[in-house]
Amino acid sequence: MNYSTLVQAIKDYTDNTETTFVNNIDNFIGQAERRILLDTDFPVFHKNVRGTITDSVTYLSKPTDFLTAFSLAVVGSDNVYTYLLPKDVSFMREFNQDTDTQGTPRYYGHFSDSSFIVAPVPDDDFTTELHYKFSPAQLSSSNTTTWIGDNADTALLYGCLIEAYTFMKGEQDLMGLYSGRYESALSSLRKLGELDDRRDLYRNGNPFIMQQAASK
């Protein structure tokens, strides 16, 4: 489903072309896309990116398209990965109160929308690798087709209608209907995502999956 088709469908389903409503349709689309991304997991939205933790600095910037983290690792000069354990910010701040405790970071937490916090305080510069889910460019008048629009059109439509009827303070019966249809579409998407994951594991020669297949 491309942008203009989706916008027209939202207007048709809601029977609403009021200016304020129409001006918010892009917000409905963005919120629905984010909901789908958080509710599903497709390898197409996974990325690995390298960065640098600076000596004595406890913060590491997140990528601008960051959505959720799968792992964060320190990469040694021998290319050995040491994975950091996720902790909450309170733990990190308390741990880093002892400024004499420095070394290779072992923990990380989400400090803000734009940065991680690490502990202990780094005693050197370290290369990092972040494996994360990214938020792709939103469907819009300047980006008229997207992976979600092409492959998750039903979930996208009903996700948009949920947002639209929330904005309109619409009838609860319709909200319930659209929520149910969204969940049904989401269920199908999750099955597709699981299939994609298994395909990736086969391609990568995952021994557990290969062993399961051989035993059947």
Mapping DSSP onto H, E and C, the string for 159-171 reads HHHHHHHHHHCCC
Q: Dihedral, CA atoms, 119, 129, 115, 45, nearest 10 degrees?
A: -140
Mean per-residue pLDDT over the chain, rounded: 89
Round to whole Å and give the CA distance between 188 and 107. 36
Long-range own/partner contacts, residues 136-142 (CB < 8 A, 24 or more apart): 136/45, 136/65, 138/26, 138/29, 138/30, 138/33, 139/2, 139/3, 139/6, 139/29, 139/33, 140/3, 140/26, 140/29, 141/3
Helices (H), 47-171: 89-96, 147-151, 153-168
| 95 band by pLDDT with thresholds 50, 70 and 90 | confident
From the centroid of its chain, how far is CA 207?
Answer: 27
Calpha distance 86→20 (Å, rounded): 42
Average pLDDT over residues 37-52: 95
The reported pLDDT for the residue numbered 101 is 82
Q: What is the pLDDT of residue 176?
A: 95
pTM here? 0.83
Segment 91-115 shows an average pLDDT of 89
For residues 155 and 184, the answer to whether their CB atoms sit within 8 Å is no
Angle of helix 3-14 relative to helix 153-168, nearest 10 degrees, comes to 40
**Cα separation, 132 vs 119, whole angstroms:** 20
Residue with the two structure tokens 């021994």: 207
Task: Read off φ and ψ for residue 122, nearest 5 degrees.
Answer: -60, 135
Is the distance from CB of 126 to CB of 82 less than 8 angstroms? Answer: no
Question: How large a percentage of the chain has pLDDT more than 70?
Answer: 88
pLDDT tier at 96, thresholds 50, 70, 90: confident
